Amino acid sequence: MSYIPATPEQRRDMLRVCGMSSADELFADIPKTLIPPDNDFWLTEGVSEFEALAKCEKLSSLNNSRLISFLGGGFYDHYIPAAVDAIVSRSEFYTAYTPYQPELSQGTLQAIYEYQSQICRLTGMEVSNASLYDGGTAIFEACKMAMAATSRKKIVVDGGVNPVYLEMLRTHIANLGAETVVGGDDLIDDAAAAVVLQNPDYFGVIHDHSGIVDKCKKCGAAAIQSVNPIALALIKSPGEQGADIAVGEGQPLGIPLSFGGPYLGFIAVKKDMARRMPGRIVARTVDDSGRQGFVLSLQAREQHIRREKATSNICSNEALCALRAHVYLSLMGTEGLRETASLCRNKAVYLRESIKSIPGVKVTDDTVFNEFAIELPVNTDGVIKRMADLGFAAGIPINANRLLIAVTEKRTKAEMDDYAAALRGAVCQ
Amino acid sequence: MSIIFEKSITGRRGVTLPKNDVPVNAAIPEKYLRKSRLDLCELSELDVVRHFTGLSKKNYGVDTNFYPLGSCTMKYNPKICEKIAGMDGFASIHPVLAQLPGGHKYTQGALSVIHHLEELLCKITGMDAFTLQPLAGAHGEFTGLSLIAAHHRKNGSTGKTEVLIPDEAHGTNPSSAAAAGYEVRAVPTGPATGLLDIEAFKAAVSGNTAAVMMTNPNTLGLFNPHIKEIAQIAHAHGALMYYDGANLNAIMGKFRPGDGDFDVMHVNLHKTFATPHGGGGPGSGPVGVKAFLEPFLPTPRIIKTGPGGDNAGNVFALNSDYPGTIGKIAPFYGNFSVILKAYAYILMLGGRGLTAVSEQAVLNANYVMHSLKDHYYIPYLKTCMHECVLTAKRQGEYGVKALDIAKGLIDRGIHPPTVYFPLTVKEAMMVEPTETESREVLDAFAAAMVEIAGAAASAPESLHRAPVSSPVGRLNETKAARDMDVAFL
């Protein structure tokens, strides 16, 4: 398959315009010794669109999408309304790039401005950026903001933070002379740049972090709260809990799981922190005739202007995923999001109750949102394998005998009853 | 057009959710409850669809017309790749599934796509191993520099605090180096050659140099033939060579960064391998390394064992047992659906097709340059690679700036090139046509540019007023920064 429209005759003509007789002359600056030999790769022929499709269909069929999923861990199998896919499939959106030319990009720019507004409304903050890569890099960027604001290097990470994000944070700060300490609020002191909290936490438990946030304020540390955006329909927002920086993974908002990405990092702050924010921010303004319009703003923070002094190195972000989240929230509305959140909560509580009576299984009565941890009397590995044979992706192992189980509004009572029965069998086997 | 929240009608609904089918109505204790009202918009599905359809009409993409945004490689995005990424067997798979005990059995297709793309990128670039975790080009740069830091740490080289970067480099290079904890030292470009000033480079490089970041061809669109000499000097000081793959579309089949003695590089799948730019993202920035850096790559890695699984009898699995790893750069394996689209694109083109891509991309850029050389000042009038840099120097005599020319193009139905970059060239306009544009489109662009050059001389005020045909005219950026109206609350 080729996407090159030039015909051989046109190529000859165009070369002639350039004063050349062969394409090799175009590459005359590349020393001959550096030109790759014609080897097994450079001589390979492509295939037709149909053949590529057939090959990818085969590969797709090697993945099992029929297991009934109880996997979560911060990434959830929510229903995505068809209108979300329809809108993001408009190529005026998806074949554009960063709106450097605002007059030709009012669609993208207004959509980002509205997305920022949605995130601010959800989190109870005042300034959101246009998106970051994912929830993990959002925590890293938030910590960097806090370190710059406090000139401190210690980051306290609450034990309830997703272990994947903890590992990402450690990788990202490895060369910044910073350190992470993991534990409770007793670790917060005058040396702390930031405290990273998660709500609901990795084990699905809902918290009120107001007390910890107060302690942060006393110590001059920034309180960073990572949140599930769907839970915010029901629970106290980061703004209500006094957090300085709200971050999170936007995947639950209409973004497919897609084996790990692309996802959506969101970040929002109060106005006083705006100039420390990473990445693009869109502002509303007027044009030369006074008409409403939108532009990229506060660009003096960014890499293409400030280079090594930029607040972040981010350039490409997750704009199309942010558009997905915005369309999703627009369709759901306040009541739709509340109902979705309530369904998640009720189903999680129902499934936990159903599992409680399995001999040897221990559950807590913590206030959970869409996910909960259980303790098994046997090794999780064996249980997970047996459950998979029965058609279930049973959950995420926390350790040798603890399992993290998630539901969404998509899981039916019948599926959960079957799951509980299968788990009983798998545990008692 | 109204803000979506202004269209909200209390009580209107856009979705109907399933009824609660479990006999539980579990209230959340009062102390955890949201007290402030959550004020999202209340609209019907049709209201929402019309709102976004209206917005889409005020946008411009590659599918609209020519989009010669330099350094961004705005080539056509094949539709089949979107279809493949949407297949249920890819789109619905939870990434943790592969990590469950025995979970690799349920994800062989996805794991094989990742593994095969890593292998293909090795062949294209001449590197020995790849990670697909980095989530964009700048994230790839950050990852590459983190690998370099891990290498120096392992060797006990403590004084390596600097990264040398040519002054014309992409802004992400210095900002990624800073994000990875390095000090940045800019190296000048020779004014006559447009290439790195080797004498200045020799003076700047020292035992403190951790890495040298370069893109080749550079942002002036020029290939540096002295690359092996530069690498030799850097290596003699114990510094590693980083290749910014933003300009890879120029050189496929012609030059492999690995053969030019680069140690680490990133590739932008959303540029070279035709995945859509999405209005700003998502991208994907895989990082390739020479074998000596492989132990530091992020985990989990995707390994091939056999026999079984795919047609060739392979089985793919995850492995996190790499004690030297820098850790996790992404939560899982990278932006998988972008990876999948790039994989399908490479399958369709093959090695010959990719070589043809670079040949045509370079020809198109030279053709544009020759079509405009009598009308615009071209600071380096010699064979360029996949992009050429013009300036508004001649038009400046009439008070017309690069920005005015850009806005004039908008009125002629064409997206402007990148303007005011590279920062080292005054009034720069960086044109990257890409290989997927036809001669007719390039001719139409050249004709518009020639007409604008004429207008600059005869009626410069018409360009100062431009654009007049777009949904809005020039926007007040000062007011935007001052008012900071960044959310509709």
B221 and B111 within one domain: yes
pLDDT at B313: 75
Task: Tell me whether residues B179 and A67 touch, CB distance under 8 A.
Answer: no
* B328 to A167: CB separation less than 8 angstroms, yes or no: yes
Which candidate from B84, B87, B146 shows the least CB-CB separation from A174? B146
CA within 13 Å, CB half, A253:
35
B173 part of a folded domain: yes
Q: What is the pLDDT of residue B307?
A: 67
What pLDDT is attached to residue A40? 84
Nearest chain A Cα distance for residue B290, angstroms: 17
B315 touches chain A (CB under 8 A): no
* pLDDT band of A37, cuts 50, 70, 90: confident
φ, ψ of residue B196 in degrees (nearest 5): -50, 130
Strand bridging mode A68-69 / A392-393: parallel
Residue that finishes a domain, picked among B284, B315, B348: B348
Same domain, B457 and B326: no
Q: Quick one: B341 and B368 in the same domain?
A: no
Instruction: Give the pLDDT confidence score for residue A300 in this predicted structure.
Output: 86
Residues of B in contact with A298 (CB under 8 A): 481, 484
User: Pick from A79, A423, A97, A161: which is nearest to B15 by CA?
Assistant: A79
pLDDT of the residue at A25: 97
**Which CATH number goes with the domain that contains B143?**
3.40.640.10
Subunit contact B336:A260, Cβ cutoff 8 A: yes
Task: From first to last of the 489 residues of chain B, give the pLDDT tens digit.
Answer: 899 999 999 999 999 999 999 999 999 999 999 999 999 999 999 999 999 999 999 999 999 999 999 999 999 999 999 999 999 999 999 999 999 999 999 999 999 999 999 999 999 999 999 999 999 999 999 999 999 999 999 999 989 999 999 999 999 999 999 999 999 999 999 999 999 999 999 999 999 999 999 999 999 999 999 999 999 999 999 999 999 999 999 999 999 999 999 999 999 999 999 999 999 999 999 999 999 999 999 999 999 987 655 566 789 999 999 999 999 999 999 999 999 999 999 999 999 999 999 999 999 999 999 999 999 999 999 999 999 999 999 999 999 999 999 999 999 999 999 999 999 999 999 999 999 999 999 999 999 999 999 999 999 999 999 999 999 999 999 999 999 999 999
Identify whether B467 is preceded by a cis peptide bond (ω within 30 of 0): yes
Are B332 and B95 spatial neighbours (Cβ–Cβ below 8 Å)?
yes
B391 touches chain A (CB under 8 A): no
Structure token digits, residue A130: 């246009």
CA distance B203 to chain A (A): 21
Q: Are strands A179-183 and A154-158 parallel, antiparallel or unpaired?
A: parallel
A122-179: per-residue pLDDT in tens? 999 999 999 999 999 999 999 999 999 999 999 999 999 999 999 999 999 999 999 9
The H helix count followed by the E strand count for chain A is 12, 15
Amino acid of residue A37: P
The values of phi and psi at residue B10, to 5°, are -55, 130
For chain B, positions 414-473, list CB contacts with chain A under 8 A. Answer: 415-416, 418, 421, 435-439, 467, 470-473
Give dist(CA B18, CA B112) in Å, integer.
37
Are residues B45 and B159 located together in one domain of the fold?
no
Please tell me whether residues B168 and B114 are part of one structural domain: yes
Secondary structure (H, E, C), A86-150 = HHHCCHHHHCCCCCCCHHHEHHHHHHHHHHHHHHHHHHCCCEECCCECCHHHHHHHHHHHHHHHH
CB contact under 8 Å between B327 and A92, yes or no, is no
CB-CB under 8 Å, B407 with A308: no
From CA B297, how far away is CA A87, in angstroms rounded? 37
The answer on B343 and B360 residing in a single domain is no
Instruction: For residue A43, give both structure tokens.
Output: 């001589």
> If you ran DSSP here, which 8-state letter would residue B33 be given?
B
Q: Which residue has the tokens 């590969």?
A: A59
Q: In this structure, what is the dihedral angle of CA atoms B121, B125, B131, B137, given to the nearest 10 degrees?
A: -100
B471 in a structural domain:
no
Q: How far apart are CA B450 and CA B455, in angstroms?
A: 9
Same domain (yes/no): B146, B264: yes
Report the pLDDT value the prediction gives residue B310, as an integer from 0 to 100: 57
Taking the CA of residue A218 and the nearest CA in chain B, the distance in Å comes to 23
Which member of B60, B332, B473 has the closest CB to residue A261? B332
Q: What structural domains and CATH numbers belong to chain A?
A: 8-58 (no CATH), 68-76+336-428 (3.90.1150.10), 83-326 (3.40.640.10)
Put simply, the answer to whether A121 touches B489 (Cβ < 8 Å) is yes
Asked if residue B291 and residue B342 are part of one domain, the reply reads yes
pLDDT in tens, A230-275: 999 999 999 999 999 999 999 999 999 999 999 999 999 999 999 9
Q: Which residue of B has its CA nearest to A61?
A: B89
| Distance to chain A for B397, nearest Cα, Å | 24
Q: Which residues of B touch A315 (CB under 8 A)?
A: 136-138, 171-172
User: Which of B281, B366, B488 is the closest to A316 by Cβ?
Assistant: B281
> Which of A87, A94, A197, A259 is the best substitution to test chain B (most B C-beta atoms within 10 A)?
A259
Could you tell me if B178 lies within 8 Å of chain A, comparing CB atoms? yes
B70 reaches A (C-beta below 8 A): no
How many residue pairs bridge chain A and chain B with CB atoms within 8 Å of each other?
A: 691
How distant is the Cα of A106 from the closest Cα of chain B, in angstroms?
5
Amino acid at B445: F
Sequence-distant (6+) residues with CB within 8 A of B219 are B70, B71, B168, B169, B170, B247, B389, B421, B422, B430
Provide the chain B residues 253-312 that lie in CB contact (below 8 A) with chain A: 253-256, 259-260, 270, 274, 276-284, 298, 309-311
Query: Is B179 found in the same domain as B98?
Result: yes
Give the pair of three-digit tokens for residue A45. 């022929």
A172 interaction partners in chain B (CB closer than 8 Å): 142, 146, 329
Contact A317 B281 (CB under 8 A): yes
Residues B365 and B283 in one domain: no
CB contact under 8 A, A258 and B337: yes
Residues of chain B positioned with their CB less than 8 A from the CB of A130: 280
Say whether B436 and A4 touch across the interface (CB within 8 A). yes
Distance (Å) from the C-alpha of residue A56 to the closest C-alpha of chain B? 7
Mean pLDDT of chain A: 97
What is the distance in angstroms between the Cα of B207 and the nearest Cα belonging to chain A? 19
Task: Indicate which of B94, B370, B418, B470 best probes the interface with A, i.e. most A CBs within 10 Å of its own CB.
Answer: B94
Strand spans (E) along B190-334: 209-214, 240-245, 264-267, 287-289, 301-305, 315-319
Q: For position B407, which CATH number holds?
A: 3.90.1150.10
Q: Is the dihedral of CA A259, A260, A263, A268 positive or negative?
A: positive
DSSP 8-state class, residue A40: T
Dihedral sign of CA atoms B272, B274, B279, B280 in order: negative
Which of B48, B107, B109 is nearest residue A61 as measured by Cβ atoms? B109
Q: How far is Cα A39 from Cα B123, in angstroms, rounded to an integer? A: 10
Range of the domain at B324: 82-348
B262 with B215, same domain: the answer is: yes
Q: Which of B39, B142, B281 sits opposite A319 (nearest CB)?
A: B281
B 189-218 near A (Cβ less than 8 A): none
What is residue B308's predicted lDDT score, i.e. its pLDDT?
56
Residue B391 lies in a domain: yes
| CB nearest to A349's CB, from B26, B138, B475 | B26
- CA–CA separation, A115 vs A93, rounded Å? 14
Last residue within a domain, chosen from B333, B348, B363:
B348
DSSP notation for B352-418: HHHHHHHHHHHHHHHHHHHHHTTTSB-SS-S--SS-EEEESHHHHTTT--HHHHHHHHHHTT----E
Of A53, A60, A67, the CB nearest to B109: A60
Closest by Cβ to A333, choosing from B18, B41, B184: B41
Look at A52 and B348 and tell me if their CB atoms are within 8 Å. Answer: yes
Chain A interface disruption, residue of B60, B146, B346, most A CBs within 10 A: B60
Q: Is residue B71 part of a domain?
A: no
> In Å, how far are A268, A317, A319, B276, B475 from A281, measured between CA atoms?
11, 11, 11, 21, 15
Chain B residues with CB-CB distance to A34 below 8 A = 227-228, 255-256, 259-260
Which residues of B fall within a CB distance of 8 Å from A20?
366
Work out the minimum CA distance from B457 to partner chain A, whole angstroms: 24
Q: How many domains does chain B have?
A: 3
B chain contacts of residue A56, beta-carbon cutoff 8 Å: 84, 87, 340, 344
Asked if residue B195 belongs to a domain, the reply is yes
Count CB neighbours of A279 within 10 A. Answer: 27
A75 vs B contacts (CB less than 8 Å):
94-96, 331
Residue B65, in any domain of the structure: no
Is B192 part of a structural domain of the chain?
yes
Enter the tokens of residue B231. 């690498």
Alpha-carbon distance B398 to nearest alpha carbon in chain A (angstroms)? 22
Say yes or no for a CB contact (<8 Å) between A316 and B340.
Answer: no
The pLDDT of A39-65, averaged and rounded, is 95
Chain A contact present for B154, CB below 8 A: no
CB atoms within 10 A of CB B57: 13
Q: Which of A64, A135, A349 sits opposite B106 (nearest CB)?
A: A64
**Residue A400: exposure state from Cβ atoms within 10 A (0-12, 13-18, ≥19):** exposed
Quick one: pLDDT at residue B305? 87
Residues B384 and B343 in one domain: no
Edge to edge, the sheet with strand B388-391 lists: B388-391, B428-431, B418-419
B296 within domain boundaries? yes
